[in-house]
Amino acid sequence: MTVRVLLVDDHPVVRVGLRGMLEMTEDLHVVGEAASGDEAWTLTATLRPDVVLMDLRMPDVNGTEATARITARFPDVRVLVLTTYDTGEDVLRAIEAGAVGYLLKDTPLAQLVDAIHAAARGESVLAPLAAARLADRRRAPVAEQLTPREAEVLGLVARGLSNPEIGRVLFISEATVKTHLVRAFVKLGVSDRTAAVTAALSRGILSPPP
């Protein structure tokens, strides 16, 4: 299955470089480029990509606001942030706006390609450094304790359910599922679903699925 990608960045040289790298991969197809949040919204409505690769700092409408608009109107379109900014505040705002993941621009190509495919499947992807920044911002004495809902969501991940499937089981939005997962990642000190389930099982937070 070919994943259709929309590139959003206000620097033309970045878009050209990304297009060149991604189109070397047979199952990725760049369907368009946007230089602003407004243009990203317009092209998403027109092109309906599978994944929007979104920068954060842009003129007019920024990436976080564009993410919120896109995910609210087009819930089947996944937004994956790709930026140079790694503050906990930036990460938290992007995830709460509906982004499925947050990567930095120094991410190796192979990892970026894997992350785009994961995003297309509705899976959460968080760069280790971004996870660390978010953990620093949110660290508190009870940080290691998962809430009942976070544990419930993680338990469904352990059973092999995707984010959309978890949302349907729990009667919550996919964006809410992603928020619970990212918060669980931070508390467990991990950066992906598999590591989160492994950590939760090893600490006795989850019981092994039947």
Query: Does pTM surpass 0.75?
Result: no
Instruction: Look at residue 210 in the predicted model and tell me its pLDDT.
Output: 62
Helix (H, G, I), strand (E, B) or coil at 35: coil
Whole-angstrom distance, CA of residue 21 vs CA of residue 14: 11
Instruction: Look at residue 209 in the predicted model and tell me its pLDDT.
Output: 65
**pLDDT tens over the chain, length 210 residues:** 799 999 999 999 999 999 999 989 989 999 999 999 999 999 999 999 999 999 998 877 889 889 989 988 998 999 999 988 877 678 878 888 888 889 999 999 999 999 999 999 988 888 766 666 665 555 444 345 788 899 899 999 999 999 999 999 999 988 889 888 888 888 887 878 888 888 888 777 887 766
The values of phi and psi at residue 162, to 5°, are -80, 170
Instruction: Look at residue 143 in the predicted model and tell me its pLDDT.
Output: 40
Instruction: Look at residue 77 in the predicted model and tell me its pLDDT.
Output: 94
Instruction: Look at residue 20 in the predicted model and tell me its pLDDT.
Output: 94
